């Protein structure tokens, strides 16, 4: 079971902070696939717990109420052992409106 304490996840906070400070993100090389999966879970757990803490800390209407500054980061495992933590931007996606039933599918 993953911890619910932010203090127990302080090491991953440093990694997430580094990703935020970088222009595009960071890459972490893990020893094996199991380590990569475990670390990604810890990174996501920290972000989840940070959101919960911010819910208590910030009032409704504040930009961090129920949010985390780390929400702009996307974590993925590539090549089985590399964790990429990338910043997302609106330019990363293309939104295409779906046609109606008469316009064809």
> Domain map of the chain by residue range?
7-88
Least confident residue range of 31-35, 56-60, 80-84: 56-60
Burial of 97 by CB count in 10 Å (0-12 exposed, 13-18 middle, 19+ buried)? exposed
- The token pair at 82 is 């590399």
User: What pairs with residue 86 in β-bridges?
Assistant: 25, 74
Contacts of residue 3, defined as CB under 8 A and 6 or more positions apart, other chains included, come to: 9, 45
- When pLDDT is cut at 50, 70 and 90, the band that residue 63 belongs to is confident
* pLDDT, tens digit, 9 for 90 and up, residues 73-83: 999 999 999 99
pLDDT at 59 over 50: yes
* Mean pLDDT taken over the chain: 87
Name the H helices within the chain: 10-21, 33-57
pLDDT, residue 90, reads 65
What's the pTM value of the predicted model, to 2 decimals? 0.76
What is the pLDDT averaged over residues 70-99? 89
């Amino acid at each position: 079971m993953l911890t619910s304490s932010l203090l127990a996840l302080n090491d991953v906070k440093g990694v997430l902070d580094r990703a935020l400070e970088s222009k595009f993100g960071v890459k972490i090389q893990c020893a094996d696939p199991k380590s990569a999966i475990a670390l990604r879970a810890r990174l996501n757990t920290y972000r989840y717990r940070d959101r919960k803490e911010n819910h208590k800390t910030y009032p409704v209407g504040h930009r961090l109420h129920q949010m985390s500054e780390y929400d702009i980061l996307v974590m993925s495992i590539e090549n089985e052992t590399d964790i990429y933590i990338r910043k997302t931007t609106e330019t990363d996606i293309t939104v295409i409106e779906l046609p109606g039933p008469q316009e064809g599918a």
